[in-house]
Amino acid sequence: MIIPARDPAPATRIRPSTVTTAFGLQLGVVAVLLLVAVGIVVEAVVYDGLIDEAARLTDADPDEVAMERAFNVEWVVITGLPVLALLGLYAGTAFPVRSGSNVARILTCVATGLPAVFCVACGGLGALVAIPLLAWDDPGATEEDFWSEESPFYEKLYELQATGLSSVLTDVGVLLIMTAFAASIAVAVLLLVPPSNRYYRPPAPPHAPPAYPFAYPVPPGYILVPASSAPWMPPPVSPAASDEPETPPEAQTGQD
């Protein structure tokens, strides 16, 4: 019986250099996203201190201060959760990608496209919000009709934010996000090139010839007798194979 050769396990296949490079870049993306997540928390803490300082210098309305604190917390949640989700996805698929898991490769490529989808969705939402403003055509309208006068609290807060540590953290965060996005695109490209594709989808083994069954089928009604238990019987002898042909009785009477 011939047994066809099985598909070799991913660990026994030779890993191409494209997959190894993609694995290193993916670990780099994980490290950069971790720095981005830490930077978001640090920037929120710094911004909360700026709110206290602006409120102290301008004797601001407590409602404005409370509203700005709530916005600060909401901004941390809105920006932090997607970063943590991508961080977990890239970290969870890094080693399976190196080992040859095609599912992990697909998830990594999907994670690369998520930031672009998020940016497009945010841009579309902003366009929908701007449509009513563009459709409003009032000849007597002035700029003050669109923008309300800012309070001294917000003016002082924006001034402190533009000249302090918060501005530096924002610039560094944008640079890190752009670096992670570029590296993730490189990872997706390296995982989709032909050498990587052959590593994750090896060619199918050749088809083996059909094997013969161990026993022939027996029609119903027949009894199978093992060869070891069947009695021995001499094979029948045909008349043509005998030494002397048999003489008919009529021929013997004529001779007498």
Concatenated DSSP letters of 68-106: HHHHHHHHHHHHHHHHHHHHHHHHHHHHHHHHT-HHHHH
At 160 the pLDDT is 85
At 232 the pLDDT is 59
CB under 8 Å to 38, separation ≥6 — which residues? Answer: none
| Amino acid (one-letter) located at 239 | P
| Amino acid (one-letter) located at 206 | P
At 154 the pLDDT is 83
At 145 the pLDDT is 47
What are the b/e assignments for 21-60, b being 16+ CB within 10 Å?
Answer: ebbebbbbbbbbbbebbebbeebbebbeebbeebbeebeb
At 215 the pLDDT is 52
Taking the C-alpha atoms of residue 69 and residue 61, their distance in angstroms, rounded to an integer, is 13
What are the b/e assignments for 200-239, b being 16+ CB within 10 Å?
Answer: beeeeeeeeeeeeeeeeeeeeeeeeeeeeeeeeeeeeeee
Distances from the Cα of 208 to the Cα of 5, 118, 139, angstroms: 8, 50, 83
For residue range 136-182, list pLDDT tens digits in order.
555 554 544 444 456 888 888 888 888 878 888 888 989 999 999 99
At 239 the pLDDT is 56
CB under 8 Å to 146, separation ≥6 — which residues? Answer: 133
What is the DSSP track for 192-208? HSHHHHHHHSPPPPPPP
Taking the C-alpha atoms of residue 201 and residue 185, their distance in angstroms, rounded to an integer, is 21
Per-10-residue mean pLDDT for the chain, 256 residues long? 46 83 95 94 91 85 88 91 92 92 92 74 54 52 50 84 84 91 93 91 63 55 54 59 53 51
Phi, psi (5° rounding) for residue 148? -75, 155
